[in-house]
Structure 1
Amino acid sequence: MADEPWAHNRYDLQQARSPDAPETAEFNDPRGDFGWIHSYETGSTLDGPGIRVVVFTSGCLLRCLYCHNPDTWHLKDGTRVSLERAKTALQAYAVPLRAMDGGLTISGGEPLVQLHFTKRLFAAAKEMGLHTALDTSGFLGARADDEYLRHVDLVLLDIKSWDPETYRRTVGQDIRPTIQFAERLAAIGKPVWVRFVLVPGLTDDPANVEGIARFVAPMRNVEWVEVLPFHQMGTFKWKAMGLNYELSDTSPPSPDLVARVIGQFREAGCRTR
């Protein structure tokens, strides 16, 4: 993959690589022969079990205030890649990934924007004997039917807030689709790692944390709750894209705040890290 012109680093700003791409909100490709990819990463140990290849797709309908890759919001900022090319590139890593109990994680952006492309790439990964993980906000979870989820071994589900008003302020969308997707995953027993981004002054209210904790704790399919501290690594992208970054003066959470939130999840009965 290293010699592929679409193999960009996720921390690099990507803009207008596919200016003729369709608008993200209107995108509906029933075949999935091509996809738009922002970047990829090899050797990840944070996005599922083992050592993993992570593919970051373009296109997202959320506008998270703390998004560190706003250049994944639009398909036009990604590189158009054929499914066959993506499969060939993944195949080159299949043997070492299997040896390291790893696999493929598809993140974004939001992978479910490109429903059929990501489904077919997941299916190809399973044919290679790889573990598969979907990193999603759950907002488009209704798009992932049973056939799609059959190719997914693990869902990394971002529950960004519990309070509906805080959720809408944080991401610009409604929380209900994410909650409904989480309940569906629980009903079918699909393994899940819940992810919660801890932003001081935004998502850290004790009642907000408690709401997520009490919702998640009874779900036997939830293997982990991961508390992810807010950071400023994507600030330069907001500035470069001429976007108003409301959290420019927000500091990362203190160790005491992180410990308090982890404690809340654990006290509710969640396995947390």
Structure 2
Amino acid sequence: MAAVPEVTAVDGYVHSVETAGTVDGPGVRFVVFLAGCRLTCLYCHNPDTQKLGGGRLLSSRALLQEIAEYKPYLMHTHGGVTVSGGEPLVQPAFVEAVFQGCKELGLHTALDTSGFLGARASDALLDATDLVLLDIKSGLPGLYQRVTGVPLQPTLEFARRLEARKQPVWVRFVLVPGLTDGEDNIRAVARIVAKLKNVERVEVLPFHKMGEHKWEEMGMEYKLKETPSPTKEQLECADAIFRAEGVVTASAG
């Protein structure tokens, strides 16, 4: 097993981990889901991660020890470590310590974030981040507020900061029928992306209800109960709108 880096020990609330993730960055990923989120997205499939205390309190060194056990596998599959949530920037010091340890291990790092708390990400944290997975929930401020419960502007400011740093970014946008699938909204997201020179990939993700049971178990109202997943035609239409704005999505590329 690889030696565990002697990074600063910072405690954080970890909801869960996935040791063989394949959708949160390049290669096979060790995905860390942190607890805590300021957003209240209508389609959140992990509402149990919204509360900061909804996980185990773990030292960054202890987590790195777990990660180190998978280093040979992650290196062999050209993967790495992704920190997701919840919203990882609720706990920026913990993420920074973990990513700095990952870099000492020689592992690729990816930060999966909405960007709303981007101002809390220090330059040191971003220096230890190889890739940012930036979730842009909507391109229209009013709709963004409706979908997430928070304003869009902080995410746009974070996106511009990442561009100024020439930080590699993958943009992800969830297509929700009857909510985010309006042509004006898709076009607005595409225009945001088209202005950013550091975006390497754009993914249009289909809405799903795999987390609906969690809302029910937590006694929370799931407002998208009657919303279907998008059809193939709806996804193709979204891809076409992005393409018309000069942005080729991963599914269309």
Deviations 1:145-187 (A, max 9, x none): 2111000000000000011111011000000000000111111
SS in 1 for 2:243: helix
Aligned equivalents of 1:268, 1:85: Cα separation in 2 = 46
Summarize the alignment of residues 227-266 of structure 1 with structure 2, pairs less than 5 Å apart.
Answer: 227-266=204-243
Q: How does 1:69-84 map to 2 (within 5 A)?
A: 69-84=46-61
Indicate the residue corresponding to 2:96 in structure 1: 119
Query: Deviations 1:120-166 (Å, cap 9, x if unpaired)?
Result: 00000000000000000000001112111000000000000011111
1:168 aligns with 2:145: yes
Unpaired segments of 5 or more residues in structure 2? 1-7
Q: 1:93 to 1:163 in 2, by over 3 A?
A: same
Q: Could you tell me whether the CA contact under 8 Å between 2:9 and 2:61 is conserved in 1?
A: no
Equivalent residue for 1:107, pick from 84, 89, 107: 84
Which residue of structure 2 aligns with residue 139 of structure 1?
A: 116
CA contact (8 A) 1:32 1:114 kept: no
Give the aligned partner of residue 35 of structure 1: 12
Contact 1:223 1:271 in 2 (8 A): no
Residue 178 (structure 1) aligned to one of 155, 158, 161: 155
Between the aligned partners of 1:267 and 1:165, the Cα distance in structure 2 is: 23
1:61 corresponds to which residue? 38
User: Any idea what SS the aligned residue of 1:76 has?
Assistant: coil
Cα deviation, residue 32, structure 1 = 6.1
Give the Cα–Cα distance (whole angstroms) in 1 for the partners of residues 107 and 198 of structure 2.
20
C-alpha deviation, 1:80, in angstroms: 1.0
Does the 8 Å CA contact 1:32/1:116 hold for their aligned counterparts? no
Q: Distance in 2 between matches of 1:96 and 1:271?
A: 32
If the length of structure 2 is used for normalisation, what is the TM-score?
A: 0.94
Distance 2:244 2:142 in 1: 25
Secondary structure at 2:154's aligned position in 1?
Answer: helix
Pairwise CA distance, 1:205: 0.7
**SS where residue 246 of structure 1 aligns?**
coil
Aligned residue in 1 for 2:164: 187
Tell me, yes or no, if the aligned pair for 1:58 and 1:75 is still in contact at 8 Å: yes
Where does residue 249 of structure 2 map in the other structure?
272
CA deviation profile, 1:181-240 (whole Å, cap 9, x unmatched): 011111111000000010011101101110110111132210111001100101100001
Aligned counterparts of 1:32 and 1:254: Cα–Cα separation in 2: 47
- RMSD, aligned CA: 1.0
Letter in 2 for 1:80: L
Q: TM-score, normalised by structure 1?
A: 0.87
- Pick closer, same or farther for the CA change 1:32–1:197 going to 2, 3 Å: farther
| Partners of 1:102 and 1:45 in 2: CA distance | 9
Q: Corresponding residue for 2:131?
A: 154
SS in 2 for 1:269: coil
- How far apart in 1 are the matches of 2:107 and 2:125? 16
SS at match of 1:77: coil
For 1:227 and 1:32, the matched residues in 2 are separated by: 37
How much has 1:69 moved relative to structure 2? 0.5
Q: Please say if residues 107 and 135 of structure 1, whose CA atoms lie closer than 8 Å, have aligned partners that are also in contact.
A: yes
